[in-house]
Chains A and B, each alone.
Chain A
C-alpha cells in the first residue's frame, strides 16, 4: 500500500503520519506531482487558513494536480474545505471538487467558536463509515463549516446540521480529524486504506 500525504504549508501533517504508522502503513509526505499521481491513495490534510493555503496550492500547481487525481483522495478538516467551491475564510475560490460553499459559524449567544471537541456524527453514507456506528464521537476543530449538500456523507450538529463528511466519486473528506479521534477515527482511516 502506497499512501502519499500532500505536503504543503499546513500544520498537523505529523499526526496523520503517526496515525497511519499505528495502522501499519508508512506514508510518503511529498509535494512531488509524480509521486502523488502514482500513489494508491492520497491524503490531503490541513490545519490553517483557507486563502493563504489556496494561494500556496495555486503557486505550486498542486491545485490542478489534486483535482486531477483518479485514486481515492481523503481531505481532512481544512483539506475538506479547500475541496469545496469557495470559502468565506479569506473570501477565496477553492478547488471546486464539491459544488458547495464553505460558511463561517454565525456567532450567537452561548455558541463557542471554534467548534472544538468531540461531537457525534450521524446519517452516515459512505464506504468510509462501513465499520462506524451512528452517533459515535469524533474530534472537531473548526470555525468554518460546509452546509448540507448532495455530497454530504455524514452529518454533525453545531447547533444546526452541517456536513461532517463529504463523498463524490473518488474524493472523500472529513471535517473532523480521524487521526485524532481515537479508535473510531482509526476505524475510518482503516476503511480508507482498504478502499
Chain B
C-alpha cells in the first residue's frame, strides 16, 4: 500500500538552517547537511529545503549545500526558493536535488511549470501554493513569501498547475501556518477531490492528531511541517507509531 509521507521542511539562509533544531547529540544545529542526514535516519520520507537567501552569493552557497545534502541522504529531497527559470532547475538537479518547488515565479509565469514538466518530467515539478481563506471556501493565492495577494484563486490555480504538468501540489494555508491548530483539512479535501496529482499539506501542525486528520479528513498524500520537528515537539518515529495505530499506512 502506498504510504502517507511525512516531510520535514528546512529553511536555509546563506547556507545555514534558520530555525533552531532540538536534536539530541546534535553537533551543529545550523548545518542543513547534518540536519538532513539526521531527519533521513529518523524516518523522514522526504525532505524539503527552502532557500530564503536574497543575495547572489548566498544562492551560490545554497547550490553547494544541495550538493552536500545529496551526497549524504538516501531519500528524495525537494529544493525551493528562488527557482525562477529552467536554468535554476537544471542547476539544482545537477547538484543532486530530486524535485524543485516553484511558487511566486510560476504564478507570474505559469509557462514555467509547463517548461519544467516538458524538459525534466512532471515528477520534478512541485507547485507550491501559499493561500489565505477570506470568506469561507474562498482562497486567494499569495506571492513573495505570503506578502502580496494575487488575483488567482487556490482551486483554479491548482488545476491549471496540474494541467500544465505539475507533479504535486504543496498547499500552505496562511490561516493555519504557525497557529499549530491543525491543517486546512476542508481545503485539502477539496483539492483531493478536484485534482488527480498528489497533495502535500502544509501549515498548522501542532500535535500528532493534526497529521492523522490531514490524512484521514483532508486526504492529503503527504504532510509537511517544520517547527514541531525542529524543536523536537514531535518525534517522527513516535508520530509514525501513532499513525500506524490509527490505521494510516506509513513507512
Interface residues of A (CB under 8 A from B): 11-12, 14-15, 18-19, 21-22, 47-49, 107, 111-120, 137, 139, 141-143, 157-158, 177, 179-183, 185-186
B251 touches A137 (CB 8 A): yes
DSSP majority for the A interface? mixed
In whole angstroms, what is the CA distance A158 to B2 when docked?
8
A14 touches B74 (CB 8 A): no
Tell yes or no: B98 within 8 A of A by CB.
yes
Which chain B positions have C-beta within 8 A of A179? 74
Q: Knowing A139-B76, A158-B2, say if A116 contacts B123 (CB, 8 Å).
A: yes
In whole angstroms, what is the CA distance A48 to B222 when docked?
24
| A72 CB to nearest B CB, Å | 21
Which chain B positions have C-beta within 8 A of A139? 75-76
In whole angstroms, what is the CA distance A47 to B220 when docked?
25
B70 touches A14 (CB 8 A): yes
In whole angstroms, what is the CA distance A15 to B3 when docked?
22
| A97 CB to nearest B CB, Å | 23
Tell yes or no: B96 within 8 A of A by CB.
yes
Beta-carbon contacts under 8 Å, B72-122 to A: 74-76, 93-96, 98, 120-122
Q: With CB as the reference atom, state the residue of chain B lying closest to A158.
A: B2
Which chain A positions have C-beta within 8 A of B5? 117-118
Q: Knowing A116-B168, A137-B251, say if A107 contacts B196 (CB, 8 Å).
A: yes
DSSP majority for the B interface? loop
Which chain A positions have C-beta within 8 A of B75? 139, 180-182
Q: Knowing A15-B70, A182-B75, A185-B74, say if A141 contacts B123 (CB, 8 Å).
A: yes
A117 touches B2 (CB 8 A): yes
B96 touches A14 (CB 8 A): yes
Query: Which of B40, B120, B198 is close to A11, meaning CB atoms less than 8 Å apart?
Result: B120
| A65 CB to nearest B CB, Å | 25
A117 touches B196 (CB 8 A): no
In whole angstroms, what is the CA distance A22 to B71 when docked?
8
Which chain A positions have C-beta within 8 A of B167? 114, 116
Beta-carbon contacts under 8 Å, B1-23 to A: 1-3, 5
Which chain A positions have C-beta within 8 A of B122? 114, 143
| A179 CB to nearest B CB, Å | 7
Query: Which of B3, B95, B168, B198 is close to A118, meaning CB atoms less than 8 Å apart?
Result: B3
Which chain A positions have C-beta within 8 A of B123? 47, 114, 116, 141-142
Identify the interface centre among A15, A107, A181: most chain B CB within 10 Å of its CB.
A15
Which chain A positions have C-beta within 8 A of B45? 117-118
Q: With CB as the reference atom, state the residue of chain B lying closest to A178.
A: B74
